[in-house]
Amino acid sequence: MHGMMMTTPLLITSLIQFAAKFHNDTEVVTCRVDGTLHRSTYGQIYERSQRLANALIELGVKPGDRVATVAWNSDRHLELYYAVSGIGAICHTVNLRLADAEMVYILNHAEDRLVFFDTDMAETVARIQPHTPAVESFISLSDAAGIPAGSPAGALDYEGLIAGVPDQYDWPVFDENAAASMCYTSGTTGNPKGVLYSHRATVLHAMASCFASTLDLRTHDIVLPVVPMFHVNAWGIPYSSPIAGVPIVMPGPKLDGKSLFELMDQEHVTMGLGVPTVWMGLLDHMDKMGRAPKGLARVIVGGAAASESIINRFELKHGVTVHHAWGMTEMSPVGVVNTLKPKFLDLPRDQQMPIKVKQGRAIYGVDMCIVDDDGDELPHDGITSGRLLVKGPWIISEYYKADESALTSDGWFDTGDIATLDADGYMLITDRAKDIIKSGGEWISSVGLENAAVGHPAIKQAAVIGVPHPKWLERPLLVCVSEGDSRPSLSEVREFLAEKVPKLWLPDAIEWVSSLPLGATGKVLKAGLRARFADYSLNK
Ligand code: ADP
C-alpha cells in the first residue's frame, strides 16, 4: 500500500523559491572581482535567475546540456547555479586554478556549450577557446563595458544577456533524479573524473547540511564560504543557506588573510568554511590584529586535516569554535562533522582534544564502515584502521561517461581513505590509501605525523612522504616550511614528536623547503613531493 502523501519532486528551484518567498530581503553580499562590494537579496537573485533562465532558453540551451562556469564565489555565480539547473541543464563548475591543458580536457569531456567567466579569467578562457570547439559562446560576468580586453573573440556580457528578457519564468517540473550540476575530481591519479549531482541528491544534502549536528545553520548566522563554488559547490552552502534563510557573504577572488579578515569584520560574518591553508592565512592576520573579526563565532575546517594547533589558535587565542569536517567531491561533499557529544563537554581540554581532531561523526544519510583488504568489516574500536566505505543518497554511483559502476559489489563507495571509527561513531582519517607509509609490517599515518609536527613552534607547514629503506621498505621523510628563521635539527624534532606519536613513526629525515606544492584545491600535492624526493637516500 502506498502512503497518501504528495510526491513533489525534490528540485533545486524549490530552494531559491523558498528563500525568495520567505527570506526575500535576506542579503547576498559579494566582493566583486574589481574589489567593489555588491549587495543583493534572495528576492533579487531569484528574479535575476528567472531572467537568466529565459536568456539561456533564447541561446538554445536544452535540458541535459552542460553550461560551464569559470568563476569565483559571487551573486551572479549563484544565479547561474539556479537558472542553469532550473531549466533542466547542468551547471558545470570548473576549477579556475587548473592548468590550461586540464581545463581544456574537462570542457571537452563535459562537452560544455557555454562558458561563463569572471573578468580576471578572460585571458585564460581566451587561450583555451581554440581548443574547445564545442563551446558556442563565452560570456563575461560583467556588463558590456566590463568585458575585458583579451577576452575570447565574440564574448557576450552577462548583464546584457539578462536585460530586456522577462523576469518571470515558468520553471519546468521534472524527474528529481535528473542531473543538476557537475564537478570534476582533482585527478591526482590519471585524468580528472566527472561527478554528476542530481537534483534529489543536492536537495537532500542541503537539508542535511542544516542539521544542528551538521552545520547548524540558523537565520541569525551570516555565512562566508571561503571554499570556492567550483570546489564541490562550495560544500553545498549555495543550496543550504537559502533554505535556512542565512545571508551569504561571497569573498570573490581575494582569499588572503587580510582581505578575509576585513570582509568578515565589516559584514559581521558569524561562520566561515574553508580548507586549513586559508585559515592559517586568516589566523596570521588575527594574531597581528590581536582579535577575531567582529561576530565570528565558528569556522568549519575541511578538505584536509585540521591540526591541533589550528584548533587551539582559533579557540584558545581568539574564542572562535572550530568544527572539523570531512567529505569529498564524490559525496556532494559532506560526510562527517565533528560536534562533541554531551558527555564530552565537561572534559578537561587535554582529554577533549583527541576527540576534536577527529574528522567527526556521520550525518544522517551517510552510512559508513571500515574494511580490511579482503573487504571484511573491521571493529569500531578507535584503534583498528581500514579502508573507509560509504553509502547514501548524495554519494556517487558512477562517474560521468565511465560506463561502469563506481561501487563495490555490495554497493559501497570506497573513498580511498584509511580511517578508524570509535565506539561513539567518531571517524579519524589516518591517511589516503596511496599516502600511507608501510614500514615493515606496520602502517605509519602521514596525516598523524604532519599534525603532530605542525605543533612545533618552528614548523609552519609539514608534509610526510615515504622514502625507500633497505630494511623497512619505507620510512617517513618530514618535509617542512619553517616558521621564522630557526630550523631545529632532526633529533630536536624527533624529541618533540616522541611525546606525541608512536616511536616507530618518528621520521628518519627532515628537509626544509620554502613552500609546499599545492594542488588546485589548496591541498598539498604529495605526488609532487614524491617526485621531488624520488631518489632520496636516507644514508646521506
Ligand atoms: P574536498 O576537499 O572538498 O573534501 P575532494 O574530493 O577534493 O573534496 O577531496 C576529498 C579528500 O580530501 C578526502 O577523500 C580526504 O582524503 C581529504 N579530506 C577531506 N576532508 C578532510 C579532513 N577533514 N581531514 C583529512 N582529509 C580530508
Give a yes or no: residue 418 inside a domain.
Answer: no
Q: Residues 490-533: pLDDT tens digits?
A: 999 999 999 888 888 999 999 999 999 988 777 888 888 998 99
Q: Per the omega criterion (within 30 degrees of 0), is the bond before 468 cis?
A: no
Higher pLDDT, residue 186 or 347? 347
Residue 457 falls inside a structural domain: yes
Closest ligand 1 atom number to CA of residue 429: 25
Q: CA-to-CA distance for 185 and 191, rounded, in angstroms? A: 9
- Distance from Cα 302 to the centre of ligand 1, integer Å: 7
**Is 176 tagged catalytic?**
no
**Closest-lying ligand 1 atom to the alpha carbon of residue 324:** 23
Residues 6+ apart with CB under 8 A from 287: 313, 317
Instruction: Give the CATH number, domain containing residue 148.
Output: 3.40.50.12780
CA of 520 to the centre of ligand 1 (A): 13
In angstroms, the CA 94 to CA 116 distance is: 10
CB proximity list for 133: less than 8 A, separation 6 or greater? none
Residue 218 lies inside a defined structural domain of this protein: no
C-alpha cell at 508: 628518519
Is position 129 within any domain?
yes
The residue from 168, 199, 230 where one domain ends is: 199
Q: Please report whether residue 370 resides in a domain.
A: no
Q: Which of 189, 438, 495, 512 is catalytic?
A: 438
Q: Residue 278: which of 315, 303, 309 has the closest Cα?
A: 303
Would you tell me how many other CB atoms lie within 10 Å of the CB of residue 535? 7
Q: Is residue 107 part of a domain?
A: yes
What separation in Å is there between the alpha carbon of 437 and the centre of ligand 1? Answer: 18
Residue with cell 577575531: 292
Residue 193 resides in a domain? yes
Last residue in a domain, options 150, 177, 199: 199
Q: Which of 185, 270, 277, 415 is catalytic?
A: 185
Active site residue 321: no
Domain that holds residue 477: 436-532
Task: Give the atom of ligand 1 at the shortest distance from the alpha carbon of 523.
Answer: 2
Q: DSSP of 334-396, one letter per residue?
A: EEEE----GGGTTS-HHHHHHHHTS-EEEPTT-EEEEE-TTS-B---SSS--EEEEEE-TTS-
Tell whether 508 is covered by a domain. Answer: yes
The atom of ligand 1 lying closest to the CA of 521 is 7
Known active-site residue 434: no
Residue 53 has pLDDT above 80, yes or no: yes
Which tens digits make up the pLDDT trace of 54-93?
999 999 999 999 999 999 999 999 999 999 999 999 999 9
Rounded-to-integer distance, Cα 515 and Cα 493, Å: 19
Taking only the tens place, the pLDDT of each residue in 445-460 is: 898 899 999 999 999 9
pLDDT > 70? residue 189:
no
- pLDDT tens-digit readout, 385-438: 999 999 999 999 999 999 899 999 999 999 999 999 999 999 999 988 888 898
Beta carbon of 186 within 6 Å of any ligand 1 atom? yes
Residue 337 near residue 215 (C-beta atoms within 8 A): yes
Instruction: State the catalytic residue, choosing from 119, 443, 500, 523.
Output: 443
Mean pLDDT of 274-299: 96
**Which of 180-184, 331-335, 534-538 shows the lowest mean pLDDT across its residues?**
534-538
Provide the pLDDT for residue 441.
Answer: 75
* CATH number of the domain residue 458 falls in: 3.30.300.30
Q: CB of 359 closer than 6 A to ligand 1?
A: yes
Query: Ligand 1 centroid to 154 CA: how many Å?
Result: 39
Whose Cα sits closest to atom 2 in ligand 1? 303
Q: 5: Cβ–Cβ under 8 A, 6 or more apart, which residues?
A: none
Domain count, the chain: 2
Instruction: Give the end of a domain, one of 144, 166, 199.
Output: 199
